[in-house]
Structure 1
Amino acid sequence: MFTSELLLRFFNLLFFINIIFALAVVFFERKNPASTWTWLMVLLFLPSIGFVLYLFLGQNLKRKKMFSLKKEERENLTSIITKQKEFLNNDKLIKTNSFLNKYSDMIKLNLCSDNSFYTNNNHVTIFTDGKSKFDQLKETLKNAKVYIHMEYYIFQNDTLGGAILKILCDKAKEGVEVKLLYDGMGCLKVHKSFFKPLTEAGGKIACFFPPFLPYINLRVNFRNHRKICTVDGQYAFIGGFNIGDEYLGHSKKFGFWRDTHLFIQGDAIDALQLHFLMDWRFAANEDSTFEDKYFPHRAHVGKTGLQIVSSGPDSTWNSIKNGYLKMISKAEKNIYIETPYFIPDDSILEALRIASLSGVDVRIIIPSKPDHPFVYWASTSYMGELLDSGVKCYTYTKGFLHSKFLSIDESISSVGTANLDIRSFTLNFEINAFIYDKKITSDLDYFFIDDLKFCTELTLEKYISRSIAVKFKESISRLLSPIL
C-alpha cells in the first residue's frame, strides 16, 4: 500500500519531471511565444499527464529537411527555377502579359520560398462532391498503363476504400507500377493487413510515421496531410477528399460532405510527381530514382497557370501561409475563404482585418457541425474577432464543409490540403495548387456563392449575445489553439 511518504515522493517526482519539460519548452524548442505559454500552462495545470502530452504532441522537427533531392536532381530543378526567375525579372517580357505582370511577385514568392515552378500548359476540372470525384478517380486508375502513385492522409477500410484498393490490386497484377503511401496517424485504426492484398499483387505500400505500437504514435503531432494521386504522368488529383465512405456523404454524423478537389492534366503534374517521389523516398526508405517515365512529354492541353506549393515542419519557410498572406494583401475587390478549421495566427488575422477595413469584401465560411469541438469553438472565437472590422462570417448547414479554398478578385485562387489554421501552417505536411486563371477562379467563386445559400450568417449582434457557456468554451479553446 502507498504510504503518505511514498505519495509525496511520487508527486515530487512528477513536479520535477514537469519542471524539466518546462525548461525544454522554454530553452530548447524555440517555439513561438503563444505556443510556449500554452505548453507551460498545460504542464502547470495538468502535472500528472502534462509531460505525457508533451511527449506525444510537443516534439519539434527543428526544420530538419526530411524530403531531400539528390545532387543531380537538385541541379535540374535549380536550372528550371533560375530560368523562371530570369523571365520574371525581364520587365519587357512580363509587361506584354498584363495578368502575369500583376501577379509576378506572387509567382516569385512561391519560386523563392518553395522552388515552386510555374506552368501554364494545364487543364483543370473542379469537383465539389465525392461521387463525381471518385468516379473520375476510379476511371483514371482503371485506364493506367505505366504507373499509379497515391498519397492520402486517410485511406479507410470500408466500401469505397475496398473498391479503390481492388482497382490498385488489379492494375498491379497487370504489371502497372503501383505505390500507395498513407499516414500513420490518419490510418491509425486501419490495420496494415488491409493493404496486404496490394503487396501480394505486386504493388508497394508505405506508411508515413507508423506507430511503434498499435494505436500509439509518438509523432502524432506531425501528419502527412497531403492528398496526391498521379497516373502515367498525364493525370493528377489534389485537394481535400480522403478515401472513405464518409467523403461520399454516407456518415450519419455529418451527412453531405462538401469539399473541393482538382483533376489536373498538364505540366503541373511534374511538381506533384516530384513531391510524391520525395515523400515516398522518406517513408519507404527506398532509393527511388526520378526516371523519365515519371516526367513524360505532354501535348498542349490548356492554358491554366499553376504552381504547386508545399510546406511542413521541415520547411525553411511557411510557404503556403506566406502564399495566403500575399493573396490577401493583393486583394482589391474580394476575398473568399472556405476552411473547416479557422485558427489563424496574428499575421493572417491582421491581414484580413486590414483588407476588410480597406473596403475589400471579405467572406469566410466554416462548418456548423464540429468534428473537433475544441477546434470549432476556437474557430468561432477568431471569426467573432473579425466581425467588427466588417468581415462577413458564415457557418455551413447543409452537411460538413471540408473545403480548403481561398480566392481573390476573381483572378487567382488556392485549393489543396491546407486549412487556414496554425497546424496546417507549421505542423502538418501540406500541399496546395495556386491557380492563376480567371475562368477557374470564377468557377470556384460560383461554388462559394452557391454555398452561401446553405449558410447561417454569424453577425456581430449574434456573437455578442452568445451564452456564458459558449463564451467559456471559446475561451478555453482559444487558449489551447496554438497546439490544437
Structure 2
Amino acid sequence: MFDLNPGYWLFLLDWLIRLAALVWIPVRSPPAAARSWLLLVGFVPLLGLPLYLVLGHPWLAHERRMRQARASQVILKHQSGRALLRWSPGESDETAGDIAQLTERVGDFMPLGGNAIELLDRYEASIESLLRDIESARQELHLLYYLMHDDEVGRAVAEALRRAATRGVRCRVLLDAVGAKPGLRAWAHPLRAAGVDVRAMLAGGLAWRKLSRMDLRNHRKLAVIDGRVGYIGSQNLAGPAFVPGHPNHELVARVQGPVVRQLAALFASDWLIETGELLDVADGETVVGTSPAQVLPSGPAYPFQNARDVVIALVQRARHRVVLVTPYFVPDDATLSTLRIAALAGVDVLLVLSASSNRPLTHWAQQAYYEELLRSGVRVALYRPRFLHAKHLSVDDDIALVGSINLDIRSFALNAEAGLLCYDAAVVARLREIEASYLAHADLLDIGQWRRRPRWHRSREGIARLADSLM
C-alpha cells in the first residue's frame, strides 16, 4: 500500500522538482543565471519552479522577433544608399575602426560623420532644452522613454506635446508599460484626445504571456524632433527626486546631424515591434558638425548581447585609461574579468558609482565585487551628492559611449537599451570634464579600509551576489 500522507507526497514533489531543475535549467540558461536559479529552486522548490517558469528565460514571442528582424532589414536597406556619409577612421586609429565595425555588425547602424554632439549634465537644463526643441517642432515628434511620472516634468512634457499636436505636428510617444505607468495613467488619455499617438511598450498584466517574458523592459530614453535634433541618455521624463531621498544626476547627449536619422530609425524599429506599423524614416540628413557617431541598440530581440559585447571590446582595446560610470554594477563574469585584466595590464581603470542607491539588494550585490576589483588595481569612486544615474564610458582620448546602458546583467540581457558611440576627442574631452566633476565630490575606496567593514556586511553582500542573475 502507498502511504497517502500529504507530507510524503510533498517530500517527493520537492525532490522531483529539484532533479528536473538540475536537468532542465542548465540547458536553457547561461551558467551564471543557471547557478542562481538552481540555488533558489534547491532551497524552495515550490516557489523557485513557478518563478523560473515566469522569469527564468529571456524569451520573446515569435512575432516580436520577426518584427525585429524585419526592422533590421529596413535599417540596412535605408543605409545602403548613404555610403557618402559613412565615416572611416584613419589607418592609425585601429581601435575606433574595430569598435565601429563590431557595433555595425551587431546593431546594424554604420558610423556617420558630420554630427554636432552636446553633452548636458545638469538635470533641469537638459529638460528645458528638450522642451524648447519640442516647442520648435513643425512636422514630426517622436519620444521613446522608459519612465514618465505624474509630476512637474511629466506635466510640462505632456503640455508641450499637446501644443505640438494642436499646431499640426505628428506626435508619437512610446512609453514602457511598467516604468511609465504613472505617466500613462495621468497623460495617455488627454494626449490621445489631443491627437498624440501614445503607445505602451511590453504591456504587462494578462497580455504579457502572448508577448514576452513578463519582466523584460524597454529601458531606452530618446527623442527625435523633425529628424534634425535628437536626444539620448540616462534621463527619464520625471523630476530629479521622483525616488524620495535619491535625487538623480544624469547625462544626456543632444545630437544634430546624420546620426539623428539613426535615432529616428531606432524609434521606428520599436514602433514596428509594438504596433506592426512601419514608419517612413526620411532622408535629407544635414552635415552640421565634425563628430563621427553611431547608434548602438541592444536588447533581447537581438541574437547577441550587443551592449555587453561592445563594452567589453572597448575596455579590451584601451591603452591608457578607461572610465566607466553606472548607477548599477552587477556584471557577468566576462565583464568582470575584462575590467580586472585591463587593470592588471596597466590600464588606468576607474569605475564611478553612486554612494547611495534606490535599490538596496542591487547595491549590496555590487559591493560584493569591490574587493576583487580593488585587488586587481581598478579604482572605485563613490559619488556622494546625488544618486548618480548617468551611464557612460570613455576610452583613452577619442571614444565615448553615452546612453541608457547599465553595467549589469539585466541591462545587458533583458532590457532594450540604446547608446551613442562618439569617435571624437572633443566629445571625450568634455566627458572628461564631467568625470572630473564627479571625482571632486566622490570618495575613492581604499582596499585596507574596505576590508575592515563588518563581517555581517560581507555576508549580506555575498548572499545578494548569488541573486545577480535574478535582479
Q: TM-score, normalised by structure 1?
A: 0.89
Report the counterpart of residue 272 of structure 2 in structure 1: 281
Distance 1:354 1:70 in 2: 37
Q: Measured at CA, do residues 70 and 383 of structure 1 come closer, stay the same or move farther in structure 2, by a change above 3 Å?
A: closer
TM alignment of 1:244-323, pairs within 5 A:
244-245=238-239, 247=240, 249=241, 251-255=243-247, 257-283=248-274, 285-290=275-280, 294-323=281-310
The answer to whether the 8 A contact 2:375-2:447 is kept is yes
The answer to whether the 8 A contact 1:81-1:111 is kept is no
Equivalent of residue 156 in structure 2, options 157, 160, 163: 163
Structure 1 window deviating more from structure 2 (418-427 vs 50-59): it is 50-59
Question: What secondary structure sits across from 2:171 in the alignment?
Answer: strand
1:310-366 CA-partner distances (Å, limit 9, x unpaired): 111121222221211121112111111110111222222222222212221111111
Q: Measured at CA, do residues 176 and 74 of structure 1 come closer, stay the same or move farther in structure 2, by a change above 3 Å?
A: closer
1:293-312 CA-partner distances (Å, limit 9, x unpaired): x4341333101010101111
TM-fit CA distance, 1:72: 7.3
Consecutive unaligned residues of structure 2, counting only runs of 5 or more, are none
Distance 2:113 2:259 in 1: 8
Aligned alpha-carbon RMSD (Å): 2.7
The answer to whether the 8 A contact 1:65-1:315 is kept is no
Q: Measured at CA, do residues 162 and 17 of structure 1 come closer, stay the same or move farther in structure 2, by a change above 3 Å?
A: farther
Equivalent of residue 234 in structure 2, options 236, 240, 247: 240
Question: What secondary structure sits across from 1:103 in the alignment?
Answer: helix
Report the counterpart of residue 74 of structure 2 in structure 1: 73
TM-fit CA distance, 1:460: 0.8
Distance 1:369 1:224 in 2: 24
Report the counterpart of residue 104 of structure 2 in structure 1: 111
Question: What secondary structure sits across from 1:429 in the alignment?
Answer: strand
Structure 1 window deviating more from structure 2 (365-374 vs 233-242): it is 365-374
Q: Look up the equivalent residue of 2:382 and give its one-letter code.
A: T
Question: What secondary structure sits across from 2:46 in the alignment?
Answer: coil
Equivalent of residue 208 in structure 1, options 190, 201, 206: 201
Report the counterpart of residue 407 of structure 2 in structure 1: 420
The answer to whether the 8 A contact 1:258-1:402 is kept is yes
2:341 paired with 1:341 = no
Distance 1:300 1:161 in 2: 32
The answer to whether the 8 A contact 1:312-1:318 is kept is yes
Report the counterpart of residue 26 of structure 2 in structure 1: 26
The answer to whether the 8 A contact 2:323-2:393 is kept is yes
Question: What secondary structure sits across from 2:467 in the alignment?
Answer: helix
Count of residue correspondences: 464
Distance 2:141 2:14 in 1: 50
Question: What secondary structure sits across from 1:442 in the alignment?
Answer: helix
1:375-409 CA-partner distances (Å, limit 9, x unpaired): 11111221221111111111111110011111011
Question: What secondary structure sits across from 2:217 in the alignment?
Answer: coil
TM-fit CA distance, 1:13: 5.0
2:314 paired with 1:327 = yes
2:220 paired with 1:226 = yes
Q: Measured at CA, do residues 70 and 405 of structure 1 come closer, stay the same or move farther in structure 2, by a change above 3 Å?
A: closer
Report the counterpart of residue 134 of structure 2 in structure 1: 141
Q: Measured at CA, do residues 109 and 135 of structure 1 come closer, stay the same or move farther in structure 2, by a change above 3 Å?
A: same
The answer to whether the 8 A contact 2:67-2:276 is kept is no
Distance 2:102 2:162 in 1: 41
Q: Measured at CA, do residues 198 and 463 of structure 1 come closer, stay the same or move farther in structure 2, by a change above 3 Å?
A: same
Report the counterpart of residue 401 of structure 1 in structure 2: 388
Q: Look up the equivalent residue of 2:454 and give its one-letter code.
A: S
Distance 2:427 2:73 in 1: 35
Report the counterpart of residue 127 of structure 1 in structure 2: 120
Distance 2:158 2:432 in 1: 34
TM-fit CA distance, 1:149: 0.6
Distance 1:72 1:35 in 2: 31
The answer to whether the 8 A contact 2:315-2:339 is kept is yes
Distance 2:218 2:270 in 1: 9
The answer to whether the 8 A contact 1:138-1:164 is kept is yes
2:420 paired with 1:433 = yes
Consecutive unaligned residues of structure 1, counting only runs of 5 or more, are none
The answer to whether the 8 A contact 1:343-1:378 is kept is yes
Equivalent of residue 342 in structure 2, options 351, 355, 365: 355
Misfit runs of 4+, over 6 Å:
81-85, 214-218
Q: Measured at CA, do residues 319 and 213 of structure 1 come closer, stay the same or move farther in structure 2, by a change above 3 Å?
A: closer
Distance 2:328 2:392 in 1: 12
Q: TM-score, normalised by structure 2?
A: 0.91
Q: Look up the equivalent residue of 1:177 and give its one-letter code.
A: R
Q: Measured at CA, do residues 169 and 74 of structure 1 come closer, stay the same or move farther in structure 2, by a change above 3 Å?
A: closer
Question: What secondary structure sits across from 1:482 in the alignment?
Answer: helix
Q: Measured at CA, do residues 167 and 240 of structure 1 come closer, stay the same or move farther in structure 2, by a change above 3 Å?
A: same
Distance 2:162 2:18 in 1: 49
Equivalent of residue 185 in structure 1, options 165, 178, 194: 178
Distance 1:430 1:9 in 2: 45
Report the counterpart of residue 398 of structure 2 in structure 1: 411
Report the counterpart of residue 447 of structure 1 in structure 2: 434
Question: What secondary structure sits across from 1:68 in the alignment?
Answer: helix
